[in-house]
Chain A
Amino acid sequence: MSTLQSAAEAPAAEPGSDMTAAVAPVSSERKPTDGLECVFQRPASMTDKPLHYCPGCTHGIIHRLVAEMVDEFGLLEKTVGVCPVGCSVFAYEYFEFDGIQASHGRAPAVATAVKRCDPSRFVFTYQGDGDLAAIGMAETIWAAARGENITIFFVNNGIYGMTGGQMAPTTLIGQKTTTSPTGRDPLTTGLPIGMCELLATLPGVAYIARVPMSSPKGVNTAKKYMRKAVRAQLEHKGFSMVELLSTCPVQWGLTPVQAMKHIDEDVLKVYPAKVFVDRVDAT
């Protein structure tokens, strides 16, 4: 059972506990001072526009990781990012590469066409759980089934954030949302869907992994997994997806710190973090 509380019941956030603040990007305009080496700055693939995400949400960290991937692999000139409806609908505002805003759930179809028409491009989608697992389930499964050489960054926070906290396919049993006010009841709403488990059964996939964004360790692991997923595409190995277990403190009714704990204590029990498929280094 979920331990989610309402916002009224939640204790006040501890000072400095906001995870997004801990990884706030440093402006690239910042120059190293004498005798100091600049070791951390905003990725070149990221704009300096302030992010619109709520405090304690990990979209900002994940955006940064995507931009770091693009920089690391030198893909700025050949990247097309596809971001559909949801909290990340403005993702194109924060990246320096070309972007397409797709309709709800259809990003894998959009990305499929971009990649097929321009195979030398790096094409990724950035999708939430409602988008990828509910309305876009068919497009997701079929992109994987065809072994489309695209990469999906799947941000799973178990709730519909932008539209006001309604139940998602990934909402935990017992979790209260605005459309499951007494807690998600599997008898009437079904059970949470593990997208990694589902897609891992398809032979067309090259890489599938899930990682929590609840700690620096998780962020580092996420970067490692995302790097592999990008390689899967660059090496023409087929479909790749990294599921990033994210937070939604506002709609969960938790403080940012509680939200991180919720991932570790509750979400990971339902959605275990691991590498499900790795055919990238297979010969």
Chain B
Amino acid sequence: MSITCVESCNAPATPGRECTAAPSAPADGVAVERRLVKGNEALSLGAVHGGCEAFFGYPITPQNEIPEILSGLLPKLGRVFIQAESEVASINMIYGAAAAGHRAMTSSSSPGISLMMEGLSYIAGARLPCLIMNVMRGGPGLGNIAPSQSDYFQACKGGGHGDYHSIVLAPWNVQECFTFPALGFDLADRYRMPAFILADAVLGSMLEPATIPKEFPPIRRIEKEWATCGRGKRSHKNVVNSLHLDPEVLSEHNELLQATYREARREIRYDMRQAEDAEVLLVAFGISARVALSTVNLLRREGRKVGLLRPITLYPFPDAPLTELAARVKSMLVFELNSGQMVEDVRLAVNGRCPVHFYGKMGGVIPAPDELADVVRRIHSGKAEEKP
């Protein structure tokens, strides 16, 4: 097969190779320790290691450890922490800090992220890099504080107004919760667009062994020639703006954004397990992929040829490997903790080449691998019909 994939360790693209590597562990030569780490703690430490210079946020369950940890850590390192008066203020503080050229971030959970959407649209329009962590909970509305994946549309399809996208990274374990913030900052800076880490209440709250460096690296300032940090010795002023009244000018700006999104497709990352000979391919991201992998292992022991594809970048979406796999597998099953959101992207990639089934749970319910295995068995035995 000729799937092109980019490993999540930032290595160059390796054509013809399946990406099964977990995202990068800390770099060689860095003193590390392996210990039990909570997901939210890993997200916090990962942000600091990733060069976070400023955090602006507002408490909301189930991600409160992140601002709690960073409120102690960032000031000690001479960096900025502000507990804002609202999520609306938080995202606009990020807008300011990012405009001034700093690596800025927030963390929140679903209802709080909704409040940030106006600001995020401005950030996208002004081409500002920043990092947003969404530790998703059940919705809509106040919902609950249990794990959910129902903000996929919001994260991947814009969320705020206007034609824009954010890079979206979906960790599935605590180690990735540590490594993805740095990756998110890097990608945001590279493409001048916002980056999301789409986690959930399980990932945020679970304890797992993770390899964490013992010391924080110093801030590595990245030269941003467009930043509004005061003119200094520059011969010209810089302006950060998303207003373009002339339709032709705005159209040109929109085209530039879209070209950026096409360019960002180089960053597609995914993880495949036992997909080589799979007859039924499970497609799942984040915590759902953990359940799906257990299901794959359970069914393999029964002799059923089942595999897993886990999108790591939800945007840009790994459609090419799915298109290719669709020609080889008998059917696919998309499993999400929502009513069916990523499945739309899978169906677009598959484009009718094979049946695409969906199994979803809402409201914070996580099925056990046994339950999911029953669904896969029905599909594998040809007893399940594809539903729209």
Contact = CB atoms under 8 A, between A and B. Distances in A.
Interface string A105-143: 010011111101110011000000000000000110010
A77 B89 contact: no
A114 B53 CA distance: 12
Nearest to A76: B231
B95 interface: yes
A117 B239 contact: no
Given A76-B231, A80-B230, A117 B102 contact: yes
A126 to B, nearest CB: 14
A78 B122 CA distance: 24
Interface in A171-189: none
Contact of B243 (A76, A78, A89, A110): A89
A18 interface: no
Interface in A82-105: 82, 89-90, 92, 95-103
A79 interface: yes
B89 A139 contact: yes
A99 B92 contact: no
B6 interface: no
Contacts of B94: 113
B92 A106 contact: yes
Nearest to B233: A77
B97 interface: yes
Nearest to A110: B96
Contacts of A96: 231, 237
B100 A77 contact: no
B339 interface: no
A98 B92 CA distance: 18
B100 A114 contact: yes
A118 B96 contact: no
A76 B232 CA distance: 8
Contacts of A139: 85, 88-89, 92
A239 to B, nearest CB: 14
A100 B82 contact: no
Interface residues of B, number: 38
A43 to B, nearest CB: 14
A142 B86 CA distance: 10
A145 to B, nearest CB: 8
Contact of B92 (A92, A102, A116, A121): A102
Given A103-B119, A117-B80, A98 B96 contact: no
B243 to A, nearest CB: 6
Interface string A161-172: 000000000000
Give the one of A76, A90, A96, A118 with max B CB within 10 A. Answer: A118
Interface in B216-239: 228-233, 237-239
A78 B118 CA distance: 29
Contacts of B358: none
B275 interface: no
A112 B53 CA distance: 14
A100 B94 CA distance: 13
Nearest to B95: A110
B99 interface: yes
Contacts of B84: 109, 142
B343 to A, nearest CB: 33
B231 A114 contact: no
Contact of A100 (B89, B119, B231, B240): B240
Contacts, number: 132
A100 B80 contact: no
Contacts of B95: 100, 102-103, 106, 109-110, 113
Contacts of B230: 77-80, 97-98, 118, 121-122
Interface in B178-220: none
Interface string B118-135: 110010001000000000
A100 B99 contact: yes
A101 B86 contact: no
B296 interface: no
Given A80-B230, A113-B54, A118-B230, A100 B96 contact: yes
B56 interface: yes
A98 B228 contact: yes
Nearest to B230: A78
Given A98-B229, A99-B237, A114 B96 contact: yes
A230 to B, nearest CB: 15
B238 A98 contact: yes
A103 B99 contact: no
Contact of A95 (B93, B104, B229, B237): B237
Interface string B337-368: 00000000000000000000000000000000
B241 interface: yes
A76 B237 CA distance: 10
A114 B99 contact: yes
A100 to B, nearest CB: 5
Give the one of B95, B230, B233 with max A CB within 10 A. Answer: B230
Interface string A152-164: 0000000000000
Nearest to A89: B243
A131 to B, nearest CB: 13
Given A76-B231, A114-B96, A106 B238 contact: no
Contacts of B96: 82, 100, 102, 109-114, 117
Nearest to A81: B228
A192 B80 CA distance: 36
Given A103-B118, A109-B90, 14 more contacts: A80-B100, A80-B228, A80-B230, A99-B228, A101-B239, A102-B95, A102-B96, A109-B96, A112-B93, A113-B82, A114-B228, A116-B82, A139-B85, A139-B88
Interface of B: 53-54, 56, 80, 82, 84-86, 88-90, 92-97, 99-100, 102, 104, 118-119, 122, 126, 228-233, 237-243
11 contacts: A78-B232, A99-B241, A101-B241, A101-B242, A102-B92, A106-B119, A110-B96, A114-B97, A121-B100, A138-B88, A139-B85
Q: What 5 A-B pairs are tightest by C-beta distance, nearest first?
A: A113-B96, A110-B96, A106-B92, A109-B92, A113-B93
